[in-house]
A and B are shown apart, each in its own frame.
Chain A
Amino acid sequence: MKFSDKFEARFTEMLTHYPTQRSVLVPTLLYAQDEVGYLSDEVILELAERLALSELDVRNVISYYSMLTTKPRGKFNVQVCTNIACMLRGGEELLEHCERKLGVGNKGTTKDGMFTLEEVECIGACSWAPAVQVNYDFHENLTPEKMDEVLEQYRNKAAR
C-alpha cells in the first residue's frame, strides 16, 4: 500500500506525539481517506497492521465518525448543513435544490462520479448560513443561484 511522502512524513511524526501509537488512528484515517478517496479494505488492513490493531477494532472506530467512509464517493463531496441555524435560512431548500440539480438524493453520487451529495449536521458556519462544505472548503450565505455557481466552479476545476 503506497501513500504519499507527505502522508508518511506526517504519520512518522505523529507517532512521536503520543505515549500510545493507536492515538494517531483517527486523524490518520481521515488523511488516508483524503488520499485514496475512501477507506478501502486495503487501507484498513494496512493501518491496522501498522498500529498493531485488529481489523475489527479499526472498523469499529471508522463506523463511529461521520466523515469516515468505507464506500467510494464522488470527486467533490457536497455537504449541505440543514441544522437549525441553516434551516432557518433556507438550508433545506438548498439541499432540495442540490438534489434536483445533481439528480441524486442524500449520500448519492452523480453518474459521472463528480459529486456526492450529503446532508450534514452543523459545520460551524451558523452565522453565515446557509452553508455548504465541498470537501474541506466552506461556501457560505448561499442561495440556490449562488449554489449553482459553486457547483459550476467545481465542474470547471475538474475540467482543468
Chain B
Amino acid sequence: MADLVSHPDEVKVVSKRFGQGATNIDRYLELDGYKAVQKALTMQPDEIINLVKNSGLRGRGGAGFNTGLKWSFVPKQSAKPKYILCNGDESEPGTCKDRLIFEHDPHAIIEGVMIAGLAVGSQTGYIYVRGEYRYLLEIVQKAIADAYAKGFLGKNIFGSGKTFDIYWHGGAGAYEVGEESALMESLEGKRGIPRIRPPFPAVVGLWGGPTVINNAETLASVPHILLGGPEWYANLGTPKNGGTRLFCLGGNVAKPGVYELPMGYNLKKMIYDVGGGIPNGRKLKGVVPGGSSVAILTPDEIDVAMDFDSVLKAGSMLGSGGVVILDDTACIVKFALRTTKFYKHESCGWCIPCREGTDWLEKTLTRFHAGGGVKKDIDNMYYLSENMLGRTFCPLGDAAAMPIMAFVKKFRKEFEDHLDGKPCPFEKAGRAQEPVLA
C-alpha cells in the first residue's frame, strides 16, 4: 500500500523482492525462497551462528547488537523449550520499514525465524505484529498458513526429521511493548511492563525458556546472508557493520521514502542526493538520524557514515533507521515538546525517573513553548534529563532523556528566544480554540 521509491545508490538485499509479488509463496519460491533454510538444515548450529556473526549483521531494532553473538548466548542444553520471537512492534517515531517487509516479503521473515531456530536449537517461533498493522498481520497469517500447507513448517521440515512451528501474535497499541522484555510480557497476555535483567532473555525468556528476540528486518536479512555468504554481506557495509539497512527518510525532505542503502552511507548524501534535499528553498536545521530516541545532529555534524559506530562517535545513535529531517521553519522547542509528550504517554510508569521525569519535562516544555519559560528552566531540563539517564529498568528513560539533552545543548539560543513571554518565533496561525462545524 505504501509507495515504493528507488535511487541508483540503493543496494537491494532486504528490499530485493519488494513489488515482486513475493507474498505469494510460489512466487517467493521462484525468487530463491526457502533455499536458505534448506541450506541451514545441512549445517551445524554453530556453523550458522558463526556465519551470521562473521557477516557483521547487527540488530536493526535499535541497539545494534551483533546478531550471531546474541544467538551464541542461548544455552545449548535447556530443560525448558527455547523460542524465537520476531519483534514487529515497530513504533519508534520516524520508523516505517518493517511495515514494508511484512507487506512485500513476509516469507523472508518466516525463513529468518526458522534459521534462527535451527541455529539455537529452538522448535518454536512467534511473529509479533503491532496492533495497528492489521493488514500486515493478515499477510503474516496467510504466509504462515501457506508455509504449513507446503510442509515447510510443522513436523519433518524439508524431510529433515526436524520440527519447527511458527505462530502469529498481534499487539493492541503500545510503543513500550517493542522493548524486548515488555514484548514477552505482552505475548504472555499481560501489561507491557519490562522485566529486570539479568537474567537476559537468551537465558530466561518466554515462559522461562531461553528466547532470542530479533527485529523483523534483522531476521529478514538472515536468509540473504546464508545464500550470499558472510564475506559478501560484510563487504557491503563498513567494518563491524555488515550489509545494508532500510533507512526511512521523513520530515522536511524532497523525496521521503524508505531506501535500502549500504551501512555507512554518508548522511549528507542521504539527505541531499537520495532524499533530494530540503524542499521549498529552505535550509536544513537538523536531523534526527535514528528515530525519535536519539540526539539531533546539526548541519555541521552530518558528514558522517551511517553505521552504528560512526554515528555513536558523532554523538548520536543509528537507532531504528528513522531519519527525520527538520528545515529552518521547525521550532526546536515544539519538536522537543512533541517528542517528550510521546515518551510521557508511553512510559509504563514503573521507574520514578522515567515516569516523573517525562511528566515534568512535558509540563516545563509546554509552559516554555507557550512563552511562560524562565531562564533556569533551560538548565533544569538538561539536568533532569541527565539524571534520568541510566537510572531506569528499561532504555525508554534514556530514550526520553537523550534527545532533550541534545536539543538544549545544541539549540540553546532557540530556547532563549522563547523567554520573557515572547510568543514562539516559529508559530504560524494559532490553533483553533473551538471546533467549528462544517
Q: With A65-B174, A82-B338, A136-B135 known to touch, is A127 a contact of B189 (CB < 8 Å)?
A: no
In this assembly, does B407 line the interface, its C-beta being within 8 Å of a C-beta of chain A? no
As a 0/1 sequence over residues 92 to 123 of chain A, the CB contacts with chain B under 8 angstroms (1 = contact) are 10001001111111000000000000000111
CB under 8 Å from chain B, chain A span 23-61: 23-27, 29-30, 51, 60-61
B interface residues, tally (CB under 8 Å):
66
Given A88-B326, A121-B346, A125-B96, the answer on whether A65 and B175 have CB atoms closer than 8 Å is no
Q: Is the CB of A88 within 8 A of B175?
A: no
A61 to nearest B CB, angstroms? 6
Given A24-B189, A65-B171, A138-B2: A128 touches B96 (CB 8 Å cut-off): yes
From B172, B192, B251, contact of A89 by CB (8 A): B251
Decide if A25 touches B96 in the complex (CB within 8 Å).
Answer: no
Q: Does B173 contact A (CB under 8 A)?
A: yes
* Nearest CB in chain B to that of A23: its residue: B189
CB pair A68 B172 closer than 8 Å: yes
Give complex CA distance A60, B111 in Å: 36
B255 CB → nearest A CB, Å: 10
Which of B29-37, B356-364, B429-437 is the interface stretch?
B429-437
Q: Are A103 and B173 touching (Cβ within 8 A)? A: no
Rounded to whole angstroms, the CA-CA distance of A103 and B436 in the bound complex is 6
Cβ-defined contact, A61 with B2, below 8 A: no
> Across the interface, which residues of A come within 8 angstroms of B207, CB to CB?
19-20
Number of interface residues of A (CB under 8 A): 51
Bound CA–CA A122/B171 (angstroms) = 15
Given A122-B95, A126-B94, is A104 in contact with B256 using a C-beta cutoff of 8 Å?
Answer: no
Q: Are A105 and B435 in contact (CB under 8 A)?
A: yes
Known contacts A99-B432, A125-B96, A126-B95; decide if A85 and B169 are in contact (CB<8 Å).
no
Q: Given the known inter-chain contacts A24-B189, A87-B338, A127-B248, please indicate yes or no for A66 contacting B292, CB distance below 8 A.
A: no
In the bound complex, what is the Cα–Cα distance between A89 and B173 (angstroms)? Answer: 23
Centre residue among A84, A121, A129 by max chain B CB count within 10 A: A84
Which of A24, A121, A127, A136 makes the CB contact (< 8 A) with B2? A127
> Taking A67-B131, A126-B94 as contacts, is the C-beta distance between A25 and B189 under 8 angstroms?
yes
- Tell me whether B272 is interfacial, beta carbon within 8 Å: no
10 A-B pairs whose Cβ atoms sit less than 8 Å apart in the complex: A18-B167, A68-B172, A83-B292, A84-B93, A84-B288, A84-B339, A100-B436, A101-B438, A127-B96, A138-B1
Closest A-B pairs by Cβ, 9 of them: A67-B173, A25-B189, A66-B173, A22-B189, A65-B172, A85-B250, A27-B170, A136-B134, A64-B191
Chain B residues packing against A (C-beta within 8 Å): 1-3, 81, 90-96, 98-99, 126, 130-135, 167, 169-175, 186-192, 207, 248-252, 256-258, 288, 292, 322, 324-327, 330, 334-335, 338-339, 342, 345-346, 348, 431-432, 435-438
